[in-house]
Amino acid sequence: MNRYKVKAFTIMEITIAMLVTALVIGITYTVYTIVIRSYQAYNTRHENLAVLLQLDKTLKNDFLQATGIYSDATGFKLVKKDGTIFYEIKPGYIVRNSVKSDTFKVKVPGAETRFEGNSLPQAATAAPTLADELELDIVLDKDTLNYTFHKSYSSADLINKNTDAIN
């Protein structure tokens, strides 16, 4: 009879140990899942931010080196001394075409080009027109960021660009 009490007690201990082990494994898995999701959200946000910072840096550099910026229906082009760079703006990305193509995966719900504060026409039939300001609305996660890039032209550049000017 004593032998059966020992077996029953051992089975109860094993059952309790299994329950505690199941709880520990469940809690560990839950914590692991939370940490992985947090890391993935952090990683995704910082990858998107890195793309946005690279776009900002590239556009600032291109605007600085450009001798002329022209707006058309699909985007804009920057004329430089050593070539021309085309930027094509789509709702989900921006393509920079130069010697090599770069794609910046950013959501751009709105883009507007201006010259001396006046909006330029974005119609498909409109001829490319000189621009001195670009305003981009970029969505990063759920936030809409407004980026404005400005090009200051010299008076000599503007006279050379204006076909109606009397030289």
- List pLDDT tens digits, range 47-99: 999 999 999 999 999 888 888 888 887 888 888 888 889 999 888 889 999 88
pLDDT for 83: 86
Residue 122: its pLDDT value, please? 65
pLDDT level of residue 160 (50, 70, 90 thresholds): low
What pLDDT is recorded for position 57?
A: 93
Return the SS3 of 37. Answer: helix
Q: Are 145 and 137 in contact (CB under 8 A)?
A: yes
CA distances from 93 to 15, 58, 71, 101, 163 (A): 58, 15, 18, 13, 34
According to the model, what pLDDT value does residue 162 have?
52
At 165, is the pLDDT very low, low, confident or very high (cuts 50, 70, 90)?
very low
pTM, whole model, 2 decimals?
A: 0.72
Q: Is 70 exposed, middle or buried (0-12, 13-18, 19+ CB in 10 A)?
A: buried
What share of the chain has pLDDT > 70, as a percent? 82
